[in-house]
């Protein structure tokens, strides 16, 4: 889950310090917690969800239908009239946090969820807010969110909106009023779990997993009754401490089989495999498909003594929907060593392969291969690369296992591996058109240098990689290799033929972080781009047909819906999360607007306000600390702060080189006293003392002075 970072060491923990230039509120415009208003006009039953393909005007679940194809059959907006597509309405949010959610639409109402899980219902034609619900997530939870306190979506069931909160609650809201109906806590705060993925509702069950694999947790997926919040089943994705005995959960019958693929004291940091985004469903087979994440620690050496496949890290696991029991699994990356996750979109389709119609799952995960799998059995049908890959030489068609390049299992000597941990395709939603029979997704080619840290020690509640090589001759070699990887970096919107296993067309993009994709029945592909536009492309050729400057780079998945005979297209534009952190850490961050929801229709005439002028970078204070203090601060910063605030203090959630004199004066109050906890900056007094905080501050002052002349 951690982002790839140019020529820099991967951080070991989250550290969310607010600084100059950030908004003072990370909430939507002031609204009551839940205000009355009209809501869904019809209940969202199991039959309606299963038959959503027959209601082209709605978008009832994260992927629109259980196939998760993100295909809208609507055809009012076409290549011929798309130049008339304009802004119908928008809603500004008072936050620069990332907004990654796919909105939902049913019966005249648009539902959206923001950072910190603030949930809003709108009149879908006018943008009038009908109600707002704030679950009041403790802001200190932002410390444990790898890539900001984001939410990727919500769910609808009967007369309810179901949300999952960063602090582990599943909440059922009355769809008409926004009032809480039920709430269930799905994990304890004994471990640094969070939830950032969208909950999914299947046949009256709401299914969700959690994030936190980098922080040292044991992945699981849980199902609750969507009407009451009552727990129905739970399935662990890695083995626990064998001394503790059975878990008493649905995973117990196969836990011994899982355990045989691990070695050492793997349970101390949980093993990872968190299913932090994609979960899918087949109503005919009653199978829930769970895409799992990276291992914990990230290094296979420190996680499992370089032994075993480590099930179910980086896999698709199929569970029986009724009771959560195991059905089958397919592991994309046994011996996972590179922070590869298999949490990207899982899409169902019917493909004709070798003259036979096959019911398949498709996924393009971070490891650079595009997979086509039989969704009833888990049998691999085909897998080919779509970017530069060197961690594996291919996939053995007989066994389905990757042919792992042993040279890419790094030791203390640095090696350049493709793809890097940002992934060839990360969480940004993929679409598939049954008309063109092509899949559409943002692809990213990158290489990252890996090496073991010989002095690594597990650190609970901090990010655990086991990676090193950041000093002396090793650092010089690392930087030379990384320069080669940087030269190979490219980003595209990719159209992929899953039957031929080849790229159909690509559109080059400026950098990583291009958004989720939606395709329509009129063969239009919509995507937010790192050109700071929302754009539409010809689904057959890739020709760009329309773009709208949105003053940001939308990373979320767009939707389309029909209301009163008019087709609308909606997208959240909130540049944030891991991709944004990469840009800020690379020093190529661009001016951007605060997050907002944008809704378009033919003839729309609304206009966005101009961007606010940027504040000048304040002059840094004089460096008075010793070289030894700065060096200690650099190490502590890397271990504790860099995931949120960037390698070498460049960028991140807020750029700490740009602190005001006032912020400098309050540094210890912020870091140790929790002064800015309301902004997501928790106190770190549990793992840092005053001297250590002062050393970090000294390092930040040193970095600000180093770059002051270059930035002005």
Q: How far apart are CA 577 and CA 78, in angstroms?
A: 32
Instruction: Report which of 341, 344, 388 is spatially closest to residue 364, judged by C-alpha positions.
Output: 344
Distance from C-alpha of 395 to C-alpha of 590, rounded to nearest angstrom: 40
Residues counted in the chain: 712
Q: Which residues are catalytic?
A: 339
DSSP class of 520: E
| DSSP string across 469-510 | --SHHHHHHHHHHHHHHHHT-EEEEEEEETTTTEEEEEEEES
Q: Which residue has the tokens 């006009």?
A: 41
Instruction: Choose among 677, 698, 699: nearest CA to 116.
Output: 677
CA–CA separation, 566 and 564 (whole Å): 6
d(CA 187, CA 386): 37
Terminal Cα distance for the chain, rounded: 34
Using alpha carbons only, what angle is made at residue 340 by residues 394 and 11, rounded to the nearest 5 degrees? Answer: 140
Q: How far apart are CA 104 and CA 153, in angstroms?
A: 8
CA 153-154-158 angle, 5° bins: 160
Which residues are within 8 A (CB) of 22 and not within 5 positions of it... i.e. 6 or more apart?
Answer: 96, 653, 654, 679
Nearest to 332 by CA among 351, 313, 346: 313
Q: What is the DSSP letter of 153?
A: B
Mutual orientation of helices 627-640 and 690-711 as an angle, nearest 10°?
100
Question: What are the DSSP calls for 57-73, one per residue?
Answer: T-B-STTSSTT---EE-
CB 655 within 8 A of CB 649: yes
Q: How far apart (Å, rounded) are the C-alpha atoms in residues 261 and 405?
A: 20
- Residue 365: burial class (beta carbons within 10 Å; 0-12, 13-18, 19+): buried
Enumerate the β-bridge partners of residue 132.
Answer: 120
Find residue 548's DSSP bridge partners. 534
Cβ-based burial of 621 (10 A; exposed 0-12, middle 13-18, buried ≥19):
middle
């Amino acid at each position: 889950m951690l982002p790839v970072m140019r020529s820099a060491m991967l951080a070991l923990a989250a550290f969310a310090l607010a600084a100059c230039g950030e908004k003072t509120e990370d909430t939507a415009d002031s609204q009551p917690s839940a205000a009355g208003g009209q809501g869904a006009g019809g209940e969202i039953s199991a039959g309606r969800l299963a038959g959503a393909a027959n209601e082209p005007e709605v978008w009832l679940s994260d992927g629109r239908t259980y196939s998760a194809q993100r295909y809208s059959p609507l055809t009012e907006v076409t290549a011929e009239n798309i130049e008339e597509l304009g802004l119908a309405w928008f809603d500004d949010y008072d936050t620069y946090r990332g907004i990654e959610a796919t909105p939902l639409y049913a019966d005249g109402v648009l539902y959206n969820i923001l950072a910190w899980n603030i949930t809003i219902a709108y009149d879908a034609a006018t943008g009038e807010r009908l109600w707002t619900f704030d679950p009041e997530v403790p802001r200190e939870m932002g410390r444990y969110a790898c890539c900001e306190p984001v939410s990727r979506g919500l769910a609808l069931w009967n007369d309810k909106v179901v949300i999952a909160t960063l602090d582990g609650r599943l909440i059922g809201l009355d769809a008409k009023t926004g009032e809480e109906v039920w709430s269930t806590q799905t994990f304890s705060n004994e471990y640094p779990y969070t939830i950032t993925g969208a909950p999914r509702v299947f046949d009256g069950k709401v299914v969700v997993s959690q994030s936190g694999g980098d922080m040292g947790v044991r992945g699981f997926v849980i199902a609750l009754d969507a009407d009451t919040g009552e727990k129905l089943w739970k399935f662990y994705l890695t083995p626990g401490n064998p001394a503790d005995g059975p878990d008493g959960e649905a995973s117990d019958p196969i836990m011994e089989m899982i355990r045989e693929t691990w070695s050492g004291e793997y349970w101390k940091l949980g093993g990872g495999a968190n299913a932090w985004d994609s979960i899918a469903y087949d109503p005919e087979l009653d199978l829930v498909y769970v895409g799992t994440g990276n291992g914990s620690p990230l290094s296979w050496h420190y996680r499992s003594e370089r032994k075993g496949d480590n099930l179910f890290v980086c896999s698709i696991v199929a569970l029986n929907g009724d009771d959560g029991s195991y059905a089958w699994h397919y592991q994309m990356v046994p011996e996972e060593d590179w922070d590869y996750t298999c949490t990207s979109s899982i899409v169902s389709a019917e493909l004709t392969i070798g003259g036979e119609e096959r019911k398949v799952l498709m996924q393009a995960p971070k490891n650079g291969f595009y997979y086509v799998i039989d969704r009833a059995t888990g049998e691999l049908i085909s897998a080919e690369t779509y970017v530069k890959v060197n961690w594996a030489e291919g996939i053995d068609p007989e066994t389905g296992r990757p042919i792992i390049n042993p040279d890419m299992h790094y030791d203390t000597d640095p090696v350049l591996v493709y793809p890097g941990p940002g992934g060839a395709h990360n969480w940004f939603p993929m679409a598939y058109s049954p008309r063109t029979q092509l899949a559409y997704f943002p692809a990213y080619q990158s290489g990252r240098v890996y090496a073991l840290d010989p002095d690594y020690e597990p650190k609970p509640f901090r990010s655990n990689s086991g990676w090193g090589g950041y000093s002396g001759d090793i650092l010089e070699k690392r930087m030379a290799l990384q320069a080669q990887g940087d030269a190979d970096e490219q980003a595209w919107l990719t159209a992929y033929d899953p039957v031929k296993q080849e790229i159909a067309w690509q559109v080059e993009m400026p950098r990583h972080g291009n958004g989720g994709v939606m395709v329509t029945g009129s063969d239009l592909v919509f995507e937010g781009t790192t050109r700071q536009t929302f754009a539409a492309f010809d689904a057959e050729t890739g020709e760009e047909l329309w773009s709208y400057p949105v003053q940001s780079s939308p990373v979320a998945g767009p939707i389309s819906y029909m209301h009163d005979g008019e087709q609308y297209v909606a997208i959240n534009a909130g540049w944030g999360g891991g991709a944004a952190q990469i840009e800020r850490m690379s020093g190529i961050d661009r001016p951007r607007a605060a997050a907002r929801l944008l809704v378009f229709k033919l003839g729309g005439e609304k206009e966005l306000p101009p961007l606010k002028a940027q504040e000048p970078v304040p002059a840094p204070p004089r460096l008075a600390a010793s070289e030894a203090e700065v060096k200690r601060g650099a190490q502590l910063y890397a271990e504790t702060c860099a995931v949120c605030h960037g390698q070498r203090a460049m960028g991140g959630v807020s750029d700490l080189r740009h602190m005001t004199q006032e912020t400098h004066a309050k540094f210890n109050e912020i870091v140790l006293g929790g002064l800015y906890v309301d902004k997501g900056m928790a106190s770190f007094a549990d793992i840092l003392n005053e001297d250590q905080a002062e050393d970090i501050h000294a390092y930040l002052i040193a970095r600000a002075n180093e770059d002051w002349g270059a930035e002005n």
